[in-house]
Structure 1
Amino acid sequence: MRRRFLKRVFDLLVAVPIFIVSLPVQAVVALLVRRRLGSPVLFRQERPGLDGHPFTMVKFRTMLDVNPEIGLVDDASRLTELGRVLRSTSLDELPTLWNVVRGDMSLVGPRPLLMQYLSLYSADQARRHLVRPGLTGLAQISGRNALSWEDKFRLDVEYVDRGSLLLDAKILMATALTVVRRDGISASGSATMPVFEGSASDGRGAA
């Protein structure tokens, strides 16, 4: 309980100033997204938070809407050039700081994935929801989307077991370097990350 309280204080002390200082940048990005992609400027999606309870995550929009008639059917075709820049620089994540301020997320923790993945996790992988999801985490500084799902989840659970304010500070510093180097933006052969279909070792999902 004390660790959770101190982590929340740490999140607010860091996230609130960054959110306020970044507002002019967010305004510029919002104008660019509105001009290049149209409305809505923000992407909102329900994601699982602490203990798997859903919350609405908000980011800058980076993709065009699905439109089979003009070939916009997958991430690769829908992701725009502006979207690639926003993702590679993590500028699309700036509005997500509001989720941290609200308490939906933490600065550091397992990334919030899709609600439909909840039933696909092994018992050990599901432990990633014992802490608030984060903007960044061990997986993000260890390869981001270049990692396999299995490796990501292993690192998420490792964070659950090892988490501390000192580790959070180290991860945040390493994240800044990862963003500058633009490492691991997408998985090999994918514009973003392949869909998780379950762990083969659990006999669920794809083999």
Structure 2
Amino acid sequence: MKRLFDLCLALIAALILSLPFFVVWVMVRATSKGPALYWSDRVGRHNVIFKMPKFRSMRVDTPAVATHLLNNPQQFLTPIGSFLRKSSLDELPQLLSIMKGDMSFVGPRPALFNQEDLIALRTQHGVDALVPGLTGWAQINGRDELPIPDKVNLDVVYMQRQSLWFDLKIIVLTFVKVLRRDGIQH
């Protein structure tokens, strides 16, 4: 049921968002060197690595680490990178990952391949059995501001409470958070 919901919603969203997708694509290409999409190695269900697309908000020479681990992340942003991140428009290409089945609309955010502490803690608590999401319970309860143990505890709460209704609640709350730009640090 969840996969069918994800697929239908992703197709509808892709149709509705095709014009903004195109505009962002052109803006990224026009304001910085390199491809419009950045393909990030992420940890999926059962810790399988998959390629997750995002609109590129950082320069092509940025180290492949979590943004909060960079000494001065602002120095790596493209001219429109901050806007893309604050508006969450950089996440639009993840609809492709949802259609493919690597991601869901709701689940724990996929860790970077090198976030060993987060991966280990999620595995220890069984969260690795979930399909990662575009948004999740941890996302709407702190996003970038959460320490890893708190993030994993919220992922466990999601795992225990997951249902279509809980997913819908998280999706609605995500829109509210994005509009308010809550919990976005970069």
Please confirm whether the aligned pair reaches a TM-score higher than 0.5, indicating the same fold: yes
Does the 8 A contact of 1:124 with 1:157 survive in 2? no
**2:147 paired with 1:148:** yes
1:38 to 26, 33, 40: 33
Q: Which has the larger radius of gyration?
A: 1
Matches within 5 A, 1:1-207: 6-66=1-61, 74-118=72-116, 121-122=120-121, 125=124, 127-186=126-185, 191=186
| 1:117 Cα deviation from its structure 2 partner | 2.5
Aligned-partner Cα distance in 2 for 1:97–1:142: 22
Does the 8 A contact of 2:53 with 2:93 survive in 1? yes
Tell which deviates more after alignment, 30-39 or 118-127.
118-127
Tell which deviates more after alignment, 73-82 or 160-169.
73-82
Does the 8 A contact of 2:130 with 2:159 survive in 1? yes
Partner SS state of residue 115, structure 1 = coil
Tell which deviates more after alignment, 44-53 or 165-174.
44-53
- AA aligned to 1:91 is L
- AA aligned to 1:157 is V
Length, aligned pairs only:
179
Unaligned runs of 5+ in 1: 1-5, 192-207
- AA aligned to 2:55 is F
| 1:28 Cα deviation from its structure 2 partner | 0.6
- AA aligned to 1:100 is I
Unaligned runs of 5+ in 2: 64-69
Identical positions, percent: 42
| 1:45 Cα deviation from its structure 2 partner | 1.4
- For residues 16-65 of structure 1, the C-alpha deviation after alignment (integer angstroms, 9 at most, x for no partner) is 10012111111110111001112211000111111111111001000013
Aligned-partner Cα distance in 2 for 1:125–1:34: 41
- Measured on the aligned residues, the alpha-carbon RMSD in Å equals 2.1
| 1:13 Cα deviation from its structure 2 partner | 1.8
- AA aligned to 1:169 is L
Partner SS state of residue 46, structure 1 = strand
TM-score, length of structure 2 as denominator length: 0.89
TM-score, length of structure 1 as denominator length: 0.80
Give the structure 1 partner of residue 67 of structure 2: none
Does the 8 A contact of 2:122 with 2:128 survive in 1? no
- AA aligned to 1:79 is L
Aligned-partner Cα distance in 2 for 1:173–1:7: 16
Give the structure 2 partner of residue 203 of structure 1: none
